[in-house]
Amino acid sequence: MSDRILVFYGSYRSDRMGVRLADYIVAGLRERGDDAELIDAKAVDLPMLDRMYKEYPKGTAPAAMEALAEKIRTADAFVFVTGEYNWGPQPGLKNLTDHFLEEWFWRPAAIASYSAGRFSGVRSGTVWHSILSEMGMVVVSSTLAVGPISQTLDAAGKPTGPAGESLQRSFGRFADDLAWWTEAARAQRARKAPPY
């Protein structure tokens, strides 16, 4: 049985480089047999948070929000691909995730960070650990940190040079860690209903 994994990406910039990492992760998960889908915050285009999904009366949420809520509810796991803006998370990705809460519960999440510089977005990745935990997800310990992204992945999301080789070596453990927690969470949910 393949795992249903949503890969979230949140940059709204016109010259987005982080989408290379998101595409790389989706392709890598699919090669492993997973049913991976990219959820691009810019493409979903939810408004700045005014009302959470749960605050709409049933059947009245905007269509894009309703469709995404269903995808989140039926996913087995999540990957959050985050850039770093001034030592913090991207507002587009944060806005997208904040529209939902209970939909995330009891599933694992993994974090992949990137930047144009040598710190690889790790400060943003660190912030996402606490955000995702607060939102009811188990955050796996393995992470990917890519930087400089332009020297790691080409425009098609293919690894390039020594940095790309390093990413390829790291990806297996990252995906294995997520797969282990995905299987564990699915088995536990089948054995015993979540407490809330």
Q: Could you give phi then psi for residue 141, rounded to 5 degrees?
A: -75, -30
List the structure tokens of 156.
Answer: 């098609």
pLDDT in tens, 156-195: 999 999 999 999 999 999 999 999 999 999 999 999 999 8
Structural domains of the chain, count: 1
Q: Which domain holds residue 187?
A: 4-191
Cα–Cα dist 11/84, whole Å: 10
CA 42 remoteness from chain centre? 14
List the structure tokens of 118.
Answer: 């040598």
pTM (two decimals): 0.96
Q: What is the CATH number of the domain that holds 40?
A: 3.40.50.360
Cα–Cα dist 45/66, whole Å: 13
Q: Count the residues in the chain.
A: 196
Gyration radius of the chain's alpha carbons: 16
Cα–Cα dist 179/76, whole Å: 10
- pLDDT for the residue numbered 196: 85
Residue 196 lies in a domain: no
